[in-house]
Structure 1
């Protein structure tokens, strides 16, 4: 290289979720030649569009189509499949543990923290052993197979208590993830159970447990009440202002005295910032998130940014009522912050002024199963039923990265509409070696 020639800046994006993928996509499109290189590090080789996980679990969408392969779409970026275990910003290095266990130091000039969040577990006896999360495509596939396999077991047992346990399903957490997972899975099971002799839809028990006094705080209180009524009309029990005390051996004990057995316990009661952030020298708030300015820069650092669930970004739409308000961990914020993050990083590279992230509430959409939904647009237009469900699908389809995935999902929906959804349990996926081992022993 010629003497004095400017070296390209090395941008390291830690995390390949919403923020990581969208930011990398934007940068690879807008960076000038030799202006900077971009490296993305994530334990998974794909990004998961989590709002479509309920439909993937219910069989309306092929699970492969709700994930975006990083190497496929980030062709001008370096993609490392590994886990960042430490960030030392003072020396501009990140420690990456690869899949085979070896570690290496990755040097950088600019850092973007997009580590996202993980499930926030509470010290409830039995939760770790019996609970099933709902944040990954693997968990969505597992839950689909698990629910359908419970129907198989219930249909083949003569023990009424065991049947009752197999047909009891509990979702703990009444936010978007919990309500949509519950609604889609119940809808799928209700459709599937027609093929089973000896059991019917009325034999199933679906329960939603929420610690606060309302579900889906993202929509208006009126729409939340409507959603509860819709769920209860379908026979789903909704417990508000109620907490789980114990889940040991599948025996659910609620703090209002309710007790019953359930073989399926789904945990969606909140998230927390990725705990790896504690192993960095970045400034964190009391909730373990990276403290940021409104421009998404990490406080006190001119060459580092953060966005999404792992970032405490001032919510400028609420500062008049609460000067300390920060953006909530949600897909909407993650996607929008990534769009603001790209021009801000480019501005920093080119010596220009960065702009703050300003969020304006535009509305919320939620699916309550096939052809059912609720929508709250700008707090003014509130839709229910089929129209709201269609708007939910249209909104999330527009946010799904890549034209390829959009088309595949549309064909999935078309196929499900024409031929109806598949209700096949592929439980062997959970333990593919069982039959091979049995054959070896015979």
Structure 2
């Protein structure tokens, strides 16, 4: 009797889950287990690059890869997970509801930007969370050149001084001058409630952020938050107003709402607690990977973060372990003790650190070369060649 592994999501974790499951089944000569991936589109969207220009090109088609490796793709949006009946209901491309059964489920549905009920946020702010929103921002930036010259037109407020906020902000001066002219007096202001620049990233990486901000002209407003957004700018929670033609929201991410349906322990970001094999706590047939999983990376108390650095190996382990259970071989304990950070700092360069305390190893142009390699090569899908793709899905391959 054929068994079935169902994967929800075609992001980094979902794609690698599918390839890893097929890899293990191939190794054991098993053709009685089917691997299906359910997602709205058969493409990997290169989300870590959405702060860059030309965002429309930052997607990699997966049809040929899935065909080469025998992964069945079903186009649809997952709506409901019935763990008792082991079925997932989804809406297909025609808008009709259908369902798929499973023997093992891997939830790799990713995360979304958190949008709190800040007045005017939904109507007037932009973001770089999904490719459609990033493309909307890009279209808006191009449209600034058609507006009359003014300080507000040339001002961008970036709400949030975390990883996404910093990469977005430091890229903007170059992007704006490419649109408005080299002599345009552009102004980019980062609003962050932290007490220090890059507070969430730690002391090791801060000097590079400060230097890049000075050289690029990035302003920081610390210890404050955006209280309201309107068509002409923002009001901060200390009462100050900043006139700006563009407001970009980058604050906070939450795991897919599908995690709420499982009745399992979740953290403050909505991520599911998983064991060493990436099985969801309290559920025998469900694994989680990528941004939906809170997984211990080592024995020192460190946990995965919402990034492709962790999503890729989490997918490889989850796919391997779901297949291992069905065919009766030993699963692998997820382990990823090495942690690195490579933060893009626009035209200034980048900074590369190692360790959870972020010890600086490369800075400036050298780090920028590494960042460009990561963004343009390392995180893209493997070639649509069965042997090459399955070899690349080995969980033992280090990512960082």
Give TM-score, length-normalised by structure 1: 0.79
Distance 2:348 2:178 in 1: 13
Distance 2:361 2:184 in 1: 30
Q: CA deviation at 1:27?
A: 2.4
Distance 2:91 2:203 in 1: 45
Q: Deviations along 1:212-253, whole A, 9 cap, x unmatched?
A: 234556754142243133213322211222211111333311
Between the two proteins, the alignment pairs up a number of residues equal to 375
Q: Does 1:80 find its partner at 2:74? A: yes
Given the alignment, which residue of 42, 61, 67 partners 1:69? 61
Could you say if the C-alpha distance between residues 232 and 178 of structure 1 is closer, same or farther in structure 2, counting changes exceeding 3 Å? same
Given the alignment, which residue of 378, 387, 398 partners 1:398? 378
- In the alignment, structure 2 segments of 5+ residues that lack a partner are 385-400
Distance 1:113 1:282 in 2: 14
Task: Map 1:155-174; keep pairs closer than 5 Å.
Answer: 155=149, 163-174=150-161
Given the alignment, which residue of 175, 181, 184 partners 1:201? 184
Q: CA deviation at 1:78?
A: 1.7
**RMSD of equivalent CA atoms:** 2.2
Secondary structure of residue in 2 paired with 1:54: coil
Moved more, 337-346 or 72-81: 337-346
Could you say if the C-alpha distance between residues 286 and 303 of structure 1 is closer, same or farther in structure 2, counting changes exceeding 3 Å? same
Residue equivalent to 1:368: 345
Q: CA deviation at 1:22?
A: 1.3
Q: CA deviation at 1:87?
A: 0.3
Question: Does the 8 A contact of 1:373 with 1:385 survive in 2?
Answer: yes
Secondary structure of residue in 1 paired with 2:353: strand
- In the alignment, structure 1 segments of 5+ residues that lack a partner are 1-6, 156-162, 320-324, 405-442
Moved more, 141-150 or 386-395: 141-150
Could you say if the C-alpha distance between residues 354 and 27 of structure 1 is closer, same or farther in structure 2, counting changes exceeding 3 Å? closer
Q: CA deviation at 1:207?
A: 0.9
Q: Does 1:52 find its partner at 2:49? A: yes
Give TM-score, length-normalised by structure 2: 0.86
Residue equivalent to 2:127: 133
Residue equivalent to 2:203: 221
Question: Does the 8 A contact of 1:214 with 1:225 survive in 2?
Answer: no
Secondary structure of residue in 1 paired with 2:351: strand
Moved more, 76-85 or 135-144: 135-144
Distance 2:354 2:42 in 1: 35
Moved more, 217-226 or 359-368: 217-226
Q: CA deviation at 1:394?
A: 1.9
Residue equivalent to 1:36: 33
Task: Point out the structure with the larger helix share.
Answer: 1
Secondary structure of residue in 2 paired with 1:84: strand
Residue equivalent to 1:389: 368
Given the alignment, which residue of 267, 284, 291 partners 2:265? 284
Residue equivalent to 1:356: 333
Could you say if the C-alpha distance between residues 380 and 31 of structure 1 is closer, same or farther in structure 2, counting changes exceeding 3 Å? same
Q: Deviations along 1:75-108, whole A, 9 cap, x unmatched?
A: 1122122111100011011111123221012111
Question: Does the 8 A contact of 2:17 with 2:320 survive in 1?
Answer: no
Question: Does the 8 A contact of 1:180 with 1:367 survive in 2?
Answer: yes
Structure number with bigger Rg:
1
Q: CA deviation at 1:206?
A: 0.9
Q: CA deviation at 1:383?
A: 2.2
